Amino acid sequence: MNSGVLSAALAGFGTGMSLIVAIGAQNAFVLRQGARGQAVLAVVAICAASDAVLIALGVAGLGAVVTAWPAALVAVGLAGGAFLICYGVLAARRALRPAAGQSLTAGGAAAGSVRAAVLTCLALTWLNPHVYLDTVLLLGSVAADRGPLRWVFGLGAMLASLAWFAGLGYGARLLGGVLARPGAWRVLDALVAATMLVMGVLLLARTF
């Protein structure tokens, strides 16, 4: 691998990681699923595959399409904000009134269905207008500066997404000992609720 290709791949990896690592609704959800051991593979796969599709669209030059449809972004913002607030309320309810077995780790009585986890993950990923602006428009624009190596840059960003979500989802299992303690899940759900509610309110405010 020559230095130009390696440089483009590393730049893509670094840029992609810088956009993904910030604490947000999607990361909070992946962390919770990973800590509970619920549908971790499905959630990580959805997040990484979705990012790969969006990054590919950006590298292909479809960022202009995103900016040309402001009404579509508004609609997505409204739906996404409402969804985040609803999810935040549910998480707050779990924190205030934990279900039986809430302190258990994977396989506990409070385990949710894979279908619910998948649908929630899809909503958190695709109902966030910022994912289109950051991934498609911003990453696409930076990739364009790489010329013929733009797809190498994009591949680096895709690998960053995969590495982050896999590390977050499966690394969360290291919290198993902590989360076995009474009240630990209430703290985690409170943090998730705060993240979701704040993100939802800010998303609606920016949309209006």
- Tens of pLDDT, residues 97-150: 866 544 444 444 344 588 899 999 999 889 887 788 778 888 888 888 888 898
The per-residue pLDDT for 160 is 95
* Residue 86 or 64, more confident: 86
Q: Is the confidence at residue 57, as pLDDT, over 60? A: yes
The per-residue pLDDT for 110 is 41
- 8 A C-beta contact, residue 34 and residue 42: no
Distance between CA 53 and CA 125 in Å, rounded? 12
> Nearest-5° angle of CA 18, CA 22, CA 28?
140
The per-residue pLDDT for 128 is 82
| Cα–Cα distance list, 145 to 11, 45, 151, 152 (Å) | 11, 29, 11, 12
| Number of domains composing the chain | 1
The per-residue pLDDT for 108 is 44
Q: Is the confidence at residue 26, as pLDDT, over 80? A: yes
Structure confidence by residue, pLDDT tens digits, 155-198: 999 999 999 999 999 998 887 677 667 677 788 788 888 888 88
| Cα–Cα distance list, 193 to 20, 32, 59, 72, 180 (Å) | 20, 11, 34, 27, 20
Contacts of 32 (CB under 8 A, 6+ apart): 172, 188, 189, 192
Residue 130, domain extent: 3-207
